[in-house]
Amino acid sequence: MELNELGEIQLDALKEVANIGACHAATALSELTNEKVLVNVPVIRINPIEEIFNLAAKPNEVVAGVLIYFLGDMTGRTLLMFPQEAAWHLTDCLLRKPVGSTTVIGELEESALKEVSNVLTCAYMNALGDLLGLVMVPSVPSMTVDMASAVLDAVSLDFGNDKDLVVCIETEFRFVEKNAVLHGYFLLLPDPDSLGVILKAIHLG
């Protein structure tokens, strides 16, 4: 079974994973920023990666993308992507600075974004692993900050090509005290064999 063949039951299972993962991610963000963080119900999309990028930003707009590989019972790649302004706001919250302070991603900001991206990615992947009884181990994150078209070209080397279908969890986090909203896109592309493992684990394959 391919991603474009998933039915309503399989999609409902993915939505459950997205909801649990988003709640775990909000809790992790709250702990990292020492601030109350609320989360909207995530939106699940299964689209070509190029379409997901077009949702996040125009080709000439800057985005931050953090790529992580997973090994274990399921193998594949994930990409956590933020529009530039969202990445700036997230950095401000992480470094306890007033929202609007960050206007460039330097070494300190990149380190903070990598750390939080790893935490958020693990929140989603742990939700998937707990639901399906799978063990997954993340790699060290790598980060790219560039125009969306350039990031798309770079990650397409890892995701296959820009026409390949990916699972996207679109999530909005709200930092209550700073009155800041973080819009992020979590992309998941399991390796072909791993998609079968996922479906078998939920007895739907």
Q: Where are the domains of the chain?
A: 3-201
Percent of the chain with pLDDT over 70: 91
- Asked whether the predicted pLDDT for residue 204 surpasses 70, the reply is no
DSSP type of residue 73? S
pLDDT of residue 153: 81
Q: Which residue has the higher pLDDT, 5 or 41?
A: 41
Confidence of residue 112 (pLDDT cuts 50, 70, 90): very high
What's the mean per-residue pLDDT of the chain?
85
At residue 160, what are phi and psi to the nearest 5 degrees? 115, -85
Q: The domain 3-201: what is its CATH number?
A: 3.40.1550.10
When pLDDT is averaged across residues 134-138 and rounded to a whole number, the result is 88
| DSSP characters over 141-199 | -EEEEEEHHHHHHHHHHHHS-TTSEEEEEEEEEEETTTTEEEEEEEEEEE-HHHHHHHH
**Do the Cβ atoms of 158 and 40 come closer than 8 Å?**
no
Note the pLDDT tens digit of each residue in 53-106. Answer: 888 788 888 999 999 999 998 888 898 999 999 999 899 989 989 888 999 999
pTM here is: 0.85
**Residue 79 neighbours by CB under 8 Å, 6+ apart:** 65, 66, 67, 68, 155, 159, 185, 186, 187
When pLDDT is averaged across residues 142-167 and rounded to a whole number, the result is 77
